[in-house]
Amino acid sequence: MSTRKDSLQLMRAALMMGFACTFIGSASAYDRVTGELFATRSDVMGQHGMAATSHPLATQIALDILKQGGHAVDAAVAANAALGLMEPTGNGLGGDLFAIVWDAETETLTGYNGSGRSPESLTLEWFESNGYEDIPKRGPLPVSVPGVIDGWFALHDRYGRLEMADVLAPSIEYARQGHPVHDLIAWYWDRSVPVLSEYPGFSEQFTIDGRAPRAGELWKNPNYADTLEVLVREGRDGFYKGELAQRISDYMEAHGGFLSYDDLANHRGNWVAPVSTNYRGYDVWQIPPNGQGIAGLQILNLLEAFDLASYGFGSPEHVHLFVEAKKLAFEDRARHYADPDYMDVDVDWLISKDYADERRELIDPDRAARTVEAGRAQLNEGDTIYLTTADQYGNMVSLIQSNYRGMGSGMAPPGTGFILQNRGEMFVLKEGHPNTFAPGKRPFHTIIPAFITKDGAPWVSFGLMGGGMQPQGHAQIVMNLVDFGMGLQEAGDAPRIHHTGSTEPTGQAIQMTDGGAINLESGFPYSTVRALMDKGHTVTWARGPYGGYQAIMVEVDDAASPPVRIYRGASESRKDGQAAGY
């Protein structure tokens, strides 16, 4: 009889071989024999509140906050704080944050861009004179200002109902008392330790005797608790202007970094208006650049003219048209998306129907494009967490947070319990690109929260993390819900399409010249694979599960007196997450 340990070893082997979907049922949602779709489980339902995160304990913390009368923002911040402790492989206090909030009182969506800027004292000329062609993946040079703490307080100041001390209390307790590390997180943690142990402060704060914590082993991080307690006492300035900021600055200077006290003290995130496109009667919302969210909107605009529902999920037409649309959107992503202060491109034009009509002419329904150019402008290993919450008042939050690559730069200031992000790696070290490095500039960002409204009312708050997979995954979720009529959980369980080979915004990849490659999770019929190859596509099986999905859907029975609101929740079964309501 196989043991749980044997099963976990199989799962890890499957992840490494790219066939996780064979062992994790969610990715086999397409039945090749009957052609029917199914979910790994039913949607979770609740009337008064819902939370969906990538860690069950974080979900329970969010629910507890909601039960205390907290706003969805209170629950989201509490869950994010917990995830920085419990899933440091994907996020933390040293990273950035983006969010979309549905405010039930005003019936409006508001966005928050919590991305930090590059150090003011670091210049493109410094990189050139020191022989750098690209910014390193790790160490002190890719570190930009962490934006997450400012984001927490900005969101909380505007919407919060509970005191920040109550919001952060559960994570402080877990940091001091410990929690058992989950299986998949332990696996990723173990992969990070050999890579990051050379950086000062990492091994001392993120290993147990030089190794990653094992699955089921109790993990404590008292330094993390200390940092959260500084935030409770001193607010956001305790991070950006106090002794903690000076400690970070001194640490970076001592180890060849440029992030300074002034860089931290001058940081502020921005409230932004989300942008949208209408896809078959549903308004899909994203945060505008410097993030990549509008690529998902461009893909949907290109696909809207095709009758995907008649082709059917998993058909050659479905996969081919999606990939061709992605190629076009991603060339624009590489050439035009950047810090809006440095962009000359009109975002409204990029996500317009007229532009989509123009670009759609480049899609050949019978052949894969080998190369495409970016459109005319009118003046990828990222590890991330996504979470969404909804409260008894009708408010909803779509929030994403990340240190970027893996556990970040590896730079862990002493006594803080967190790792600084390596988001600065995304800059281009070449003149003339909108994402060229400059002091005090926000880098191109991969993390994107999403939201869907119908007739001006909230419908779905969702995200699908995973570097360059994110806009691809967002578009696929919308297609699954709208074109293929899937349920909320089913839409995330269906096998995914991941296209690689497009030009990257970092300039580190040459322009696509061979059409790239389609990586398919298992569950797509072999007849589709053969048809795609006949169209000129290179097709491979997935090298790992693609993305990490969480979602909440709201349904209102207006016929009831008074009207009844029901939340549905879904969580990524390729990871360790949980959706739960009350």
Residue 367 in any domain: the answer is: yes
For residue 40, what pLDDT is reported? 86
> pLDDT at position 551, please?
98
pLDDT confidence of residue 391: 98
The pLDDT value given to residue 129: 96
Q: Which amino acid is at 69?
A: G
In this structure, is residue 581 part of a structural domain? no
The C-alpha atoms of residue 51 and residue 148 are separated, in whole angstroms, by 20
Q: Give pLDDT, residue 17.
A: 33
**Domain membership of residue 284 as a residue range:** 272-382+467-555
Distance separating alpha carbons of residues 328 and 308, to the nearest angstrom: 18
Query: Which of 384, 388, 389, 503 is the catalytic position?
Result: 384
The pLDDT value given to residue 454: 97
Tokens 């001392």, located at residue: 204
Among the listed residues 275, 289, 241, the one whose alpha carbon sits nearest the alpha carbon of residue 113: 289
Burial group, residue 247, by CB count within 10 angstroms (0-12, 13-18, 19+): middle
Residue 92 lies in a domain: no
Q: Which residue has the tokens 């009207």?
A: 563
384 annotated active-site: yes
**φ and ψ of 458, to 5 deg:** -65, 140
3-state helix, strand, coil in the chain (%, to 5): 35, 20, 40
3-class secondary-structure state, position 115:
coil
| 245 domain residue, yes or no | no
Note whether residue 44 is domain-resident.
no
φ/ψ of 46, rounded to 5, equals: -160, 150
Are 582 and 46 in contact by the 8 Å Cβ rule? The answer is yes
The pLDDT value recorded for residue 563 is: 84
Q: Is 459 inside any structural domain?
A: no
Q: How far is CA 206 from the centre of its chain?
A: 23
Residue by residue, DSSP assigns 467-512 as TTHHHHHHHHHHHHHHTS---HHHHHHS--EEEE-SPPTTS-SPPP
Phi, psi (degrees; rounded to nearest 5) at 503: -60, 140
Q: Torsions phi, psi of 512, nearest 5?
A: -60, 125
Number of domains in the chain: 1
Distance CA 464, CA 175 (A): 27
125 three-class SS: helix
Q: Pairing state of beta strands 450-454 and 457-465?
A: antiparallel
The pLDDT value recorded for residue 417 is 97
CA 289, chain centre distance (Å): 14
pLDDT score of 375: 59
What is the C-alpha to C-alpha distance for residues 496 and 520, in angstroms, rounded to an integer? Answer: 6
Is 347 within a domain?
yes
pTM of the model: 0.91
In angstroms, rounded to a whole number, what is the distance separating the alpha carbons of residues 452 and 282?
7
How far is Cα 294 from Cα 292, in angstroms, rounded to an integer?
6
Q: Which of 71, 469, 413 is nearest to 248 (CA)?
A: 413
Q: Quick check: 448 and 296 in contact, CB under 8 A?
A: yes
Enumerate residues 6+ apart whose C-beta is below 8 A from 221: 85, 175, 205, 417
d(CA 303, CA 311): 12
* Res 44: pLDDT: 97
pLDDT mean for each 10 residues of the chain (582 residues): 39 36 35 58 95 97 98 98 96 96 97 97 96 94 98 98 98 98 95 96 97 98 98 97 97 98 97 97 96 94 97 96 94 85 84 94 91 56 82 97 91 97 92 90 92 97 89 96 96 93 64 80 92 95 82 92 92 91 96
307 falls within a domain? yes
Residue 533: CATH number of its domain: 1.10.246.130
